[in-house]
Structure 1
Amino acid sequence: MGFDYCFVCGDKNPHGLNIKFHQDGDAVHATFHCEERHIGWPNVQHGGITSSLLDEASAYVPLNMGLVTVTAELNISFKAPVQVGETVHIEAHPSKVTKRLLYVEARMVNSEGEVKATSSAKMIVLSPEQQAKMGIEAPIGRE
């Protein structure tokens, strides 16, 4: 199984979220519609879904830069609940880039502009040897 089965962005995962991220310069964007199957508390999106969406957005930033990374840290601030039936916009952009680390800021807002959650991620850039050990030959979408 390849990246097509990714829980967040894979289009072949029948249980996944099937989110499509779009590049805009160094930033990435996506939308997500909360359904009843995404709840934790009644009528409220599960925090794990919110976390997964922000993590995936953070991972797409280095990917679009031609880098293969893994998340080392993900710090999330939940600002307001995402309600069932609500559509949110997810965006992420790099905040600092070093040779081995990429820092990414992400946020989730509803159609009225209310911030639902924010995150800061520290992504570790994998060396060619680390990529080979994981079975990754090239950045996803860059083969």
Structure 2
Amino acid sequence: MKKIVNPWIKLEKDGYNCFGCAPNNPYGLKMEFYEDGDDIVSFWTPTENYQGWLHTLHGGIQSLLIDEIAGWLVARKLQTLGMTTSLEVKFKNPITTGTCTQLEIRARLKEIRHNFAFISAQIRCDGRLCSSGELTYFCFSKEKAAADFHFTACHTVDEEG
């Protein structure tokens, strides 16, 4: 498993403050990402600050975890950016904010058709499938990603030296 370098860190002074992945957003999830073969993986600990019902992780936060990892999959595997056009989440088992100490969020590219990436994602706690998502992502051209979003590449730590 290889840690992915956050390519937007250098843009913090310009306003980078993503709720999902900015490390210095005081309210954010501060997600970090890893490449594991064909998958992109993140590990995250649910706390009481993100609950919906008593001691249960809010479904919107679960959806955000799935959406965020899909974006990172596009950045790393396709070396561009895009936007979610469709997100379907199925909640299979509750995620408790007190006893589930670490979630594993995992995404995989299923197919690419034209400018659309079709992605599957899952959230697991202690090996148990809690939520799954199917996403469609519209992928920007590499030129648009660079010009509009300052994105040039997404590397792993070992690639950057």
Q: Give the structure-1-normalised TM-score.
A: 0.88
The alignment yields a C-alpha RMSD, in angstroms, of 2.0
1:74 counterpart SS class: strand
> Could you tell me which residue of structure 2 aligns to residue 126 of structure 1?
140
> Which amino acid in 2 is paired with 1:52?
L
Give, in whole Å, the separation in 2 of the partners of 1:19 and 1:10.
Answer: 7
Give the one of 90, 94, 98 matched to 2:109: 94
Give, in whole Å, the separation in 1 of the partners of 2:116 and 2:152.
Answer: 16
> Could you tell me which residue of structure 2 aligns to residue 40 of structure 1?
52
> Could you tell me which residue of structure 2 aligns to residue 74 of structure 1?
87
TM-superposition CA deviations, 1:23-73 (whole Å, max 9, x none) = 123311111111110101011011111000000111111100202111100
Structure 2 spans left out of the alignment, 5+ residues: 1-11, 156-161
CA contact (8 A) 1:77 1:118 kept: yes
1:5 counterpart SS class: coil
Q: Give the structure-2-normalised TM-score.
A: 0.79
Give, in whole Å, the separation in 1 of the partners of 2:130 and 2:142.
Answer: 37
Count of matched residue positions in the alignment of Structure 1 and Structure 2: 140
CA contact (8 A) 1:4 1:12 kept: no
Give the deviation of 1:139 after TM superposition.
4.5
CA contact (8 A) 1:26 1:61 kept: no
Give the one of 4, 21, 25 matched to 1:13: 25
Give the deviation of 1:6 after TM superposition.
0.8
Give, in whole Å, the separation in 1 of the partners of 2:80 and 2:53.
Answer: 37
Give the one of 41, 48, 51 matched to 2:63: 51
Do residues 136 (structure 1) and 128 (structure 2) align?
A: no
Give the deviation of 1:132 after TM superposition.
6.6
Give, in whole Å, the separation in 2 of the partners of 1:3 and 1:60.
Answer: 19
CA contact (8 A) 2:45 2:103 kept: yes
Do residues 116 (structure 1) and 133 (structure 2) align?
A: no
Specify which structure has the bigger relative contact order, considering alpha-carbon pairs within 8 angstroms and separated by 6 or more residues.
Answer: 2
TM-superposition CA deviations, 1:58-95 (whole Å, max 9, x none) = 11111002021111000000001110131211000000
